[in-house]
């Protein structure tokens, strides 16, 4: 009997899954998931991402079971498990979808070599990106370093491709593992993640619902509303994309169809451009893998960053004294997510006003974001810090007061996450230190007690940052 192993990784879906589609050409398919933290070193999944992974795997297992199959869960060394599974099952082929992180690429190369020696044929497929990183190059064969020409090249090639349906039924397979998803112990032991369920539904069905909700509620306002953290106009699909619960090709098809049908072409193009930034992030990570720890711009290798544990801790806790910053950091802690505009604002304060290395901010996001993606996290932090590809100019330093006034003008976002300031009028909500003590007391606020003083002077720290880059 022809057998093939289907190895799920960051492609936890049944619809539009190329590896699944190819594996089904065999009479028997063995769906597996291997939890091997050592293979991802030094970028093992953070705490919030592991919470999502647990529930996504549960959803995948249920989806397979409804179709007559079974997700077989393993824990340990990937190479050893695959070699033994091929031996005891007699499977002569393994299908998987490609990953683009440095550790994943290195592991896949090793596996292909080892399994080939064992007589096992491996097939890898693209399920995560619209384009393979080696497909989009400049005329001289070199990779793009700037987003706009990269995205124009993608658009010229066309974003659409045929979608693969989820199978209605799957062939039953023998069981080779008795582990449950719970045995992987992915869930955080701290109670901080208990509230995540109020905000998220991991799994393929959750991704589909999030997409439908965005098309109905967010897409008609996206071009203007995407920068407003006080409004529900963003898609919130990034964690679903990270673990492959929905394919980027399916998103393209859905957004293009909705835009054409409803006359929302401008909004659809604006959202697809953000999907393009995700492509660009993976593209850069593939071509420049050293950038997970080193600046893309080598001139920043000796930048005079500061070591300030107290300031870093205040930033992490959402106690900086800048309301839009603290709202974002508290949103992150309670939901595992942060609005993209706010991500840029909090990153700017850390790297430019506080001169704390971008790597420390990236590490905190890595552990607390449910959508913690190595490519996107690296690009975002280096972009804001001014040392990345196509980065924001170093002299672009986000003023948290002006950003709050512009993108949270009614204060709904700050009042939700920083309730101790809820009574302040809009005029003073984003800079409470401008009010004198007696006036603040009328609104029930004592700076230094109910809410902290700003941990840094914005004007002075801006000049310090500009002087540092000149040095």
- Catalytic annotation, residues: 274, 277, 305, 340, 358, 381
Q: How many CA atoms lie within 13 A of 403 on its CB side?
A: 26
The SS3 of residue 313 is helix
CB 115: neighbour CB atoms within 10 A? 19
Tokens describing residue 37 = 């933290």
Residue 421 has phi, psi (to 5 degrees) of -105, 5
Q: What 8-state DSSP symbol labels residue 321?
A: S
**Residue 245, Cβ density class (10 Å: 0-12 exposed, 13-18 middle, ≥19 buried):** buried
**Residues 301 and 316: beta-carbon distance below 8 Å:** no
Helix or strand holding residue 125 (H, E): strand 121-125
Please give the Cα distance from 200 to 239 (Å, whole number): 9
DSSP code, position 349:
I
User: What element of type H or E holds 33?
Assistant: strand 28-35
Q: Are 282 and 289 in contact (CB under 8 A)?
A: no
Helix (H) or strand (E) holding 97: strand 93-97
Place of tokens 């799994």: 203
DSSP string spanning 138-188? -TTSPPP-SHHHHHHHHHHH-S--PPPPPPS----------B-GGGG--S-
Tokens found for residue 177: 């593992």
Largest pairwise CA distance in the chain:
82
Structure-token pair, residue 178: 């008795």
If phi over 0 gives left and psi between -120 and 50 gives alpha, with beta otherwise, what is residue 203?
left
């Amino acid at each position: 009997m022809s057998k093939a192993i289907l190895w799920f990784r960051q492609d936890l879906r049944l619809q539009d899954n190329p590896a699944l589609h190819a594996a089904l050409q065999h009479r028997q398919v063995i769906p597996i998931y291997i939890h091997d933290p050592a293979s991802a070193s030094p970028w093992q999944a953070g705490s919030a991402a592991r919470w999502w992974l647990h529930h996504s795997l549960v959803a995948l297992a249920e989806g397979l079971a409804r179709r007559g199959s079974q997700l077989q869960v393993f824990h340990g060394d990937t190479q050893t498990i695959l070699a033994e599974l091929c031996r005891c099952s007699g499977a002569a082929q393994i299908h998987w979808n490609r990953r683009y992180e440095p550790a994943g690429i290195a592991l896949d190369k090793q596996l292909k070599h080892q399994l080939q020696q064992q007589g096992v044929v491996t097939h890898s497929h693209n399920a995560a990106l619209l384009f393979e990183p080696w497909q989009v190059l400049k005329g001289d064969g070199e990779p793009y370093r700037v987003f706009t020409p990269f995205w124009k090249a993608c658009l010229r090639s066309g974003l659409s491709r045929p979608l693969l349906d989820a199978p209605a039924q799957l062939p039953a397979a023998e069981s080779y593992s008795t582990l449950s998803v719970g045995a992987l112990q992915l869930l955080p032991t701290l109670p901080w993640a208990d509230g995540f369920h109020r905000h998220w539904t991991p799994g393929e069905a959750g991704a589909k619902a999030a997409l439908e909700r965005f098309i109905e509620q967010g897409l008609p306002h996206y071009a203007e509303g995407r920068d407003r953290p006080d409004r529900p106009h963003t898609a919130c699909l990034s964690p679903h994309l990270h673990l492959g619960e929905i394919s980027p090709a399916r998103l393209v098809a859905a957004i293009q169809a909705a835009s054409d049908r409803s006359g929302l072409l401008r909004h659809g193009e604006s959202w697809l451009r953000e999907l393009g930034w995700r492509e660009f992030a993976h593209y850069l990570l593939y071509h420049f893998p050293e950038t997970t720890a080193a600046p893309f711009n080598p001139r920043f290798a000796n930048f005079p960053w500061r070591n300030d544990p107290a300031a870093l801790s205040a930033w992490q806790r959402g106690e900086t004294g800048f309301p839009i910053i603290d709202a974002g950091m508290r949103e992150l802690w309670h939901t595992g997510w942060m609005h993209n505009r706010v991500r840029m604002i909090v990153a700017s304060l850390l790297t430019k006003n506080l001169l704390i290395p971008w790597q420390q901010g990236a590490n905190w996001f890595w552990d607390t974001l449910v959508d913690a993606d190595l490519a996107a996290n690296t690009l975002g932090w280096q972009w804001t810090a001014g040392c990345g590809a196509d980065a924001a100019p170093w002299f672009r330093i986000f003023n948290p007061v002006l950003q709050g006034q512009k993108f949270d003008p009614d204060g709904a976002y700050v009042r939700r996450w920083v309730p101790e300031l809820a009574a302040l009028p809009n005029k003073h909500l984003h800079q409470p230190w401008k009010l004198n003590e007696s006036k603040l007391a009328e609104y029930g606020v004592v700076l230094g007690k109910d809410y902290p003083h700003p941990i840094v002077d914005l004007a002075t720290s801006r000049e310090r940052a500009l002087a540092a880059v000149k040095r």
